[in-house]
Amino acid sequence: MEYEVVHTDDVPLTDLSEIDEVPSDLQMRAIDDFLPSEHVQLKLWYFEPGEEIRYHAHAEQEELYFALEGEFELTLGRAGETERREIEAGAFWLARPEVGHGHRNVGDGEGIVLAVGAPNVEDPGREPGEFDGEGE
């Protein structure tokens, strides 16, 4: 089939605290498991107040984020050159390969972030200082 349609409620919520290989204890919906794509990964991340995805970078993958709900503090930029920004629902942000990024829910309620990563490759987050800055 050339197209797929799925409703958020049809994608199970995964509790990442039960997976030893994943450093965060967040909850996530892997939309890309139900809308398989050759080119992008697609996740919905759920943050309780104070929860975060730590500052990290990817070797190959570019990530686009959209805050659907909540207030977040972003940490963006290469190691040693980071900037902190506070954003609210409705904001987008982008991290290119080898550029560090992380975000923390600084609001009083649940935060939800849509994450789109491309290319669709296995590219675990690494310490941003591991990159020499030549990949941008």
- 18-52: per-residue pLDDT in tens? 766 555 678 999 999 999 888 999 999 999 999 99
Residues 117-123 have a mean pLDDT of: 93
The DSSP output letter for 12 is P
Residues 50-61 have a mean pLDDT of: 94
pTM metric for this prediction = 0.88
Residues 48-74 have a mean pLDDT of: 96
Q: Is the pLDDT of residue 64 over 70?
A: yes
Residues 82-89 have a mean pLDDT of: 97
Contact 116, 63 (CB under 8 A): yes
Looking at residue 63, its amino acid is E
Question: What proportion of the chain, given as a percentage, has pLDDT over 70?
Answer: 91
Task: List, in order of start, the domains of the chain with CATH numbers.
Answer: 25-121 (2.60.120.10)
E strands, the chain, where? 14-15, 27-30, 41-47, 52-56, 62-69, 71-76, 83-88, 92-95, 101-105, 111-118
Beta bridge partners of 69: 112
User: What is the reported pLDDT for 131?
Assistant: 86
Band of the pLDDT at 135, cuts 50, 70, 90?
Answer: very low
Contact 42, 32 (CB under 8 A): yes
Ramachandran region, residue 70 (left: φ > 0; alpha: ψ -120 to 50; beta: rest): left
- 88-118: per-residue pLDDT in tens? 999 999 999 999 999 999 999 999 999 999 9
